[in-house]
């Protein structure tokens, strides 16, 4: 049920994208205590975007999940920023993260609602 969407104005190889998504998936599963089989990740490279009025390398991560506790968001924000800087070489001050707690009745899977 956790869903991470990654958008950036930088180009990356398919392999680099897949490796980054796998690391994010494992991080989300561990941090939220949810089975990784429910974690979905998506990477949208090289879209037009700006931050602070310029188009230097930047990235936006959007994490949605049922029961996303606000007690986890500060730590997750730091861990995502560190991962982006280490793996994608985008500075932490060019990383923005949005967190959304989705009500159980608004998330479907396998033809049912969670």
Cα–Cα distance list, 61 to 36, 49, 79, 81 (Å): 18, 13, 12, 10
Residue pLDDT, tens place only, 60-101:
999 999 999 999 999 999 999 999 999 999 999 999 999 999
Which CATH number is associated with domain 3-113?
Answer: 3.30.429.10
Mean per-residue pLDDT of the chain: 96
Owner of token pair 């932490």: 92
For residue 99, what are the contacts with CB-CB under 8 A and spacing of at least 6? 63, 64, 68, 70, 73, 76, 77
Is there a catalytic annotation at residue 103?
Answer: no
Residue 37 confidence class, pLDDT cut points 50, 70, 90: very high
Q: Which of 2, 35, 45, 103 is catalytic?
A: 2
- Indicate the pTM of the whole model: 0.94
| Predicted pLDDT at 101 | 97
């Amino acid at each position: 049920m956790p869903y991470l969407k990654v958008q950036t104005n930088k180009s990356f190889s398919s392999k680099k994208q897949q490796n980054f998504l796998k690391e994010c998936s494992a991080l989300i599963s561990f941090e939220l205590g949810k089975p990784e089989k429910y974690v979905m990740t998506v990477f949208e490279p090289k879209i037009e975007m700006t931050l602070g009025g310029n188009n230097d390398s930047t990235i936006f991560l959007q994490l949605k999940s049922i029961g996303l506790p606000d007690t986890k968001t500060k730590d997750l924000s730091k861990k995502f920023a560190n991962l982006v800087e280490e793996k994608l070489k985008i500075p932490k001050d060019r990383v923005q993260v949005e967190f959304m707690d989705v009500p159980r009745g608004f998330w479907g899977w396998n033809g049912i609602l969670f």
